[in-house]
Copies of this chain bind each other. A is one copy, B any other.
Amino acid sequence: MHMKRKPLSVLATMIDALRTLPGIGPKSAQRIAYHLMQNDKEGAQRLGQSVLHAIQVLKHCEQCNTFTEHSICELCSDKQRDSKLLCVVEMPTDQIMLEQTLAYCGLYFILMGRLSPLNGIGPCEIYFNRLIHRATDGIVSEVVLATNFTNEGEATAHYLGQILKAQGLTVTRLARGVPVGSELEYVDAGTIARAILDRRLV
């Protein structure tokens, strides 16, 4: 006879789903679940619906690769932006930081990661072909590499820089105003603004 594994209760199923989230351990998952059921059913409703809605309608912007419910995101649709400048960042959060500096007026490409061979993240996983296609549209003339100043971010910038330069593009990197070894997300806007102005040829 087969041993059938008992199906999880409704509560246990929810706790299980919560604990697969990054940074959420089993105890936090339990606490979140009880909190939602006990004190915030409205928040639970909002969470459940917004997550299901997101996976249903979100896709990658055809131009910058960020997540959006449109074919082309709002920023890429903005005719005020300088379409000769293309800034490459790792994550949408990096883009948000750069926008907050008000020091950059060009467009973006979001890799949704960084090269990390040890973790099986190669050029394919960071949408390399889409970036090359985007950067060689005949309008972009300078690519600003704004990946993080970590080992992986630097390696990614170096790799992308080589290939983009071979396409005849001007390739720059944010100036080293950004502290070495740090992640853009955590750097203050002033420092990043300085680094944009001081960007250097690669």
Partner-B contacts on A (CB < 8 A): 9-11, 13-14, 16-18, 20-24, 27-28, 30-38, 40-41, 43-55, 57-58, 67-69, 74, 91-93, 112-113, 185
Contact = CB atoms under 8 A, between A and B. Distances in A.
Contact of A11 (B13, B43, B54): B54
Contact of A21 (B13, B32, B55, B67): B32
Contacts of A52: 44-45, 48-49, 52
Contact of A92 (B22, B34, B47): B34
Contact of A37 (B20, B58, B113): B58
Identical copies of this chain, number: 2
B41 A55 contact: yes
Given A28-B23, A47-B18, A37 B54 contact: yes
Contacts of A18: 47
Contact of A9 (B9, B48, B68): B68
A148 to B, nearest CB: 14
Given A34-B91, A68-B11, A91-B34, A51 B44 contact: yes
Nearest to A26: B93
A51 B17 contact: yes
Nearest to A38: B112
- Which of A11, A36, A54, A69 has the largest number of chain B CB atoms within 10 A? A54
Contacts of A93: 27, 30-31, 34
B31 A22 contact: yes
Nearest to A70: B9
Given A10-B69, A21-B36, A47-B48, 17 more contacts: A9-B68, A10-B53, A10-B54, A11-B67, A13-B50, A13-B54, A17-B46, A21-B43, A21-B47, A22-B35, A33-B54, A34-B92, A37-B55, A37-B58, A45-B55, A47-B51, A48-B50
